[in-house]
């Protein structure tokens, strides 16, 4: 799994694509928290839930359905609180939450992601797994492995997220320029 400081890169990269419709700092912060939220399933280790269980680590909380439900719930609350478009919030929050499982599938650690839970507990990885898996806790930072972990995350998560964000900013700038063009003259 990528580190806790890297998962929010997805929220930052996606935000410019939604900025004109739902661009509030609280929305970005909520999106960032949602990129980390699926790892709350690690509490299951303390509760005796086995890793390979549907509600174990990288189980249901990392699934498409969980992303839809978490995103939908927070979008319903956020749409009322911020008075923003529910569908746009739900889409942004869904993508932020889903990004966690998808980036975990790019690592070689663990048993994979139960992407289609609760319908199946089968675990998945992408065929290509370029991201160096980090450990739970701070072990990577105390044993010198952190340079490999953070270097891998910079290359495979942060740089693509930066590119995605810059493309979103460019797209919104171009759209604003297009909308500012004068209407064509009508001829009789």
Cα–Cα distance, 50 to 35 (Å, whole number): 23
C-alpha Rg value of the chain to the nearest Å: 19
Single pTM value for the model: 0.91
The pLDDT profile of the chain, 188 residues, written as one tens digit per residue, is 788 999 999 999 999 999 999 999 999 999 999 999 999 999 999 999 999 999 999 999 999 999 999 999 999 999 999 999 999 999 999 999 999 999 999 998 889 999 999 999 999 999 999 999 887 666 656 677 788 888 999 999 999 999 999 999 999 999 989 988 888 888 76
Measured CA to CA in angstroms, residue 56 lies from 8, 47, 132, 151, 161 at distances of 22, 10, 22, 28, 28
- Taking a C-beta distance cutoff of 8 angstroms, is the pair 3, 134 a contact? yes
């Amino acid at each position: 799994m990528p580190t806790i400081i890297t998962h929010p890169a997805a929220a930052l990269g996606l935000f410019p694509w939604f900025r004109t419709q739902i661009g509030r700092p609280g929305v970005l912060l909520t999106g960032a928290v949602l990129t980390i939220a699926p790892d709350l399933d690690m509490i299951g280790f303390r509760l005796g839930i086995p890793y390979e269980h549907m509600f174990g680590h990288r189980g249901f909380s990392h699934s498409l359905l969980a992303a839809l439900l978490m995103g939908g719930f927070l979008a319903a609350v956020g749409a009322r609180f911020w008075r923003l478009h529910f569908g746009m919030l739900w889409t942004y929050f869904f993508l932020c939450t889903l990004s966690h499982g998808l980036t975990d599938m790019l690592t070689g650690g663990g048993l994979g992601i139960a992407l289609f839970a609760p319908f199946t507990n089968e675990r998945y990885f992408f065929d290509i797994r370029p991201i160096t898996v980090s450990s739970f806790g701070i072990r990577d930072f105390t044993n010198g492995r952190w340079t490999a972990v953070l270097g891998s995350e910079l290359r495979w998560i942060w740089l693509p997220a930066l590119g995605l964000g810059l493309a979103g900013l460019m797209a919104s700038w171009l759209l604003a320029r297009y909308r500012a063009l004068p209407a064509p003259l009508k001829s009789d």
